[in-house]
Chains A and B, each alone.
Chain A
Amino acid sequence: AQSVTQLGSHVSVSEGALVLLRCNYSSSVPPYLFWYVQYPNQGLQLLLKYTSAATLVKGINGFEAEFKKSETSFHLTKPSAHMSDAAEYFCAVSEVGGTASKLTFGTGTRLQVTL
C-alpha cells in the first residue's frame, strides 16, 4: 500500500521568504510523486511530478521538489514566496506499473503568504 504524509496542515510565510512544504511517502515499489495546487473553488492543478528521471524536479510558478529515496521525502520549495502562492498544496503518490495515474493524496497543506 502507498501513502503520503504532509507535515503541517497550515504554513505561513512572509512575502519574499522561502517556502518549504514537507511530504514523506511510503511505497512498496518505486513511486511516482506529484505536487498539486488547489486555489479556492478551483480544481487541482499539477505543479510538478517525479517519474524516476532527475531527482530535482522543476515545476511551474518557480516551484521545485527533490526526490530523496534515503529519506523517503519529496519536499516542495520555492525561494521567494509571492502573495499569489496562497493556496492548498497536495502531495500525491502513485505506483510504477500499477494504474499509474491513480493517485493517493496527502491531507494537504494550506499556505498563507503575509505582507
Chain B
Amino acid sequence: GAGVSQSPRYKVAKRGQDVALRCDPISGHVSLFWYQQALGQGPEFLTYFQNEAQLDKSGLPSDRFFAERPEGSVSTLKIQRTQQEDSAVYLCASSFLGSGRAGTGELFFGEGSRLTVL
C-alpha cells in the first residue's frame, strides 16, 4: 500500500510477555519515528531513525523497550517483560526528509498498534 503500515493492529499480552510491533514505512522515506499514545493523551516521542541509524532514543521509557531498523526500511519495536503501564497505542510515522532545518516535512502516521497488557 501507499501508506505506513503497522502490525498487529491489536495485541493482547499477559504481563511479563515479550511483544514485537512492526512498522512498514512509506517506500523511500528516510526518517522513521515511534510514538506512544496512552488513552486520552497525545502521542509521546519514543525513538527516531534516519535510515538504519537510531539517532535519538531519549523517549524510550525503560531498557525493556528496544527498537531497530536494520536495513533502513522496516522497523520493529520490541517490549520485553511487558507491564500494565505499557498498555497504549504505538504509532509509527515516517518522513521523506531527514533531520535538521530541512527536516520539516510532514510526518505520515500509521494507524497504530494497540497493546493491552493484562
Contacts and interface: CB of A to CB of B under 8 A. Distances in A.
A70 to B, nearest CB: 23
Interface of A is mostly: loop
B4 A108 contact: no
Contacts, number: 73
Contacts of A32: 104
Interface string A16-40: 0000000000000000100010000
Interface of B is mostly: loop
Interface residues of B, number: 32
Interface of A: 9, 32, 36, 41-46, 49, 51, 90, 92, 94, 96-108
Given A100-B103, A101-B31, 7 more contacts: A41-B111, A90-B42, A100-B104, A103-B45, A103-B107, A105-B44, A107-B42
